[in-house]
């Protein structure tokens, strides 16, 4: 029987990088396979570059692109005249679903990340002799607050380990930095979520930061909204039932309550404003 292979999801964010470091330290590079699903083209180029740096200097990361056939496998593509082998991009997924994903209907994770990686695993490890590792942490959200170190993964039908499940984000930064590894530069620019640019779960500060530092990410979302005919973000602006991206950016410039612009939120941000002590 073959040796068990340890599969780690590597998003370019600090949690998955800490989990990858844990795997490498515990099992050694030969047993560890790191994979990244590219989120349908919604990653920032700096995240892309960071994954490239990690691949070159620490451990190769296999890049996987979602296909339409990963999303629907029951003959649906053929019925709709779609090519199952075609790339599934973020806006194409939203067009097919008739809406963008949201916190309550977060289908982007399964369609763009989980399912393409499962297809890749079935192709490359048909014996199923692998265990999966994630960078899930309990304090990320209520939904994750009961996650354990060891679980069973129904989606991949394998053992699942969450080595940083009870760590704080700061502990992940400290652990990775102590190993001398580079960290995604978006953190030094003040972002707290770096998996997608933006993520459908991005908060007010991150949205403003994208708009201020990388307005081309807002232009991208605006073009996607026009293509799909729906808003990227679920309603989040108080008193506004429909919120297109420019409404959301305008709201992000305001104080709590959403009525008054806050000068300090509008002024250009400093070169480095990491909240995780990355600049000493």
Q: Does 115 bind ligand SF4 (CB under 6 A)?
A: no
Among 51, 64, 68, 112, binds ligand SF4 (CB under 6 A): 112
**Each residue of 163-179: b (16+ CB within 10 Å) or e?**
bbbebebeebbebbeee
Minimal distance, residue 9 CB to ligand SF4, in Å: 11
Q: Does 101 bind ligand SF4 (CB under 6 A)?
A: yes
Q: Does 218 bind ligand SF4 (CB under 6 A)?
A: no
Minimal distance, residue 13 CB to ligand SF4, in Å: 9
Minimal distance, residue 99 CB to ligand SF4, in Å: 13
Q: Does 201 bind ligand SF4 (CB under 6 A)?
A: yes
Peptide bond into 241 cis (omega under 30): no
C-alpha to C-alpha distance for 186 and 118, rounded to whole angstroms: 28
C-alpha to C-alpha distance for 197 and 176, rounded to whole angstroms: 23
Torsion angles phi and psi, residue 5, rounded to 5: -105, 140
Minimal distance, residue 170 CB to ligand SF4, in Å: 21
CB nearer to ligand SF4: give 113 or 137. 113
From the list 68-76, 101-109, 168-176, 208-216, the region that binds ligand SF4 by CB under 6 A is 101-109
Q: Does 109 bind ligand SF4 (CB under 6 A)?
A: yes
In 3D, which of 13, 10, 55, 12 has the Cα closest to residue 35? 10
CA distances from 95 to 45, 108, 130, 246 (A): 24, 12, 34, 20
Site for ligand SF4 in 24-53 (CB under 6 A): 39, 42
C-alpha to C-alpha distance for 71 and 56, rounded to whole angstroms: 31
Q: What is the dihedral of CA 179, 272, 217, 136, to 10 degrees?
A: 40
Q: Does 117 bind ligand SF4 (CB under 6 A)?
A: no
From the list 72-80, 105-113, 121-129, 131-139, the region that binds ligand SF4 by CB under 6 A is 105-113
CB nearer to ligand SF4: give 15 or 21. 15
Per CB under 6 A, residues contacting ligand SF4 are 39, 42, 101, 106, 108-109, 112-113, 195-196, 199-201
């Amino acid at each position: 029987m073959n040796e068990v292979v340890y599969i780690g999801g590597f998003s370019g964010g600090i949690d998955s990088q800490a989990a990858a470091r844990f795997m490498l330290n515990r099992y050694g590079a030969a047993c560890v396979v790191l994979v990244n699903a590219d989120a349908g083209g919604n990653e920032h180029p700096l995240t892309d570059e960071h994954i490239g740096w990690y691949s070159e200097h620490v451990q190769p990361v296999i890049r996987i692109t979602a296909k339409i056939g990963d999303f629907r496998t029951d003959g649906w593509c053929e019925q709709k005249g779609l090519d199952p082998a075609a790339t599934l991009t973020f806006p194409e997924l939203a067009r097919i679903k008739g809406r963008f994903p949201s916190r309550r209907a977060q289908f982007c994770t399964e369609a763009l990340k989980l399912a393409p990686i499962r297809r890749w695993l079935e192709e490359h490890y048909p014996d199923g002799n692998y265990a999966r590792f994630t960078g899930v942490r309990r304090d990320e959200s209520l939904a994750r607050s009961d996650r354990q170190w060891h679980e069973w993964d129904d989606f991949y039908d394998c053992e699942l380990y969450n080595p940083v499940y009870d760590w704080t984000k700061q502990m992940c930064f400290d652990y990775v930095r102590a190993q001398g590894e580079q960290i995604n530069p978006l953190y030094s620019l003040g972002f707290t979520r770096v998996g997608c640019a933006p993520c459908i779960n991005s908060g007010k500060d991150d949205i403003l930061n994208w708009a201020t530092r990388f307005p081309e990410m807002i232009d991208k979302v605006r073009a996607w909204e026009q293509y799909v005919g729906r808003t990227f973000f679920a309603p989040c602006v108080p008193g506004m039932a429909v919120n297109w991206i420019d409404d959301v950016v305008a709201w992000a410039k305001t104080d709590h309550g959403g009525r008054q612009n806050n000068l300090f939120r509008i002024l250009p941000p400093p070169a480095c404003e990491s909240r995780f002590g990355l600049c000493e």
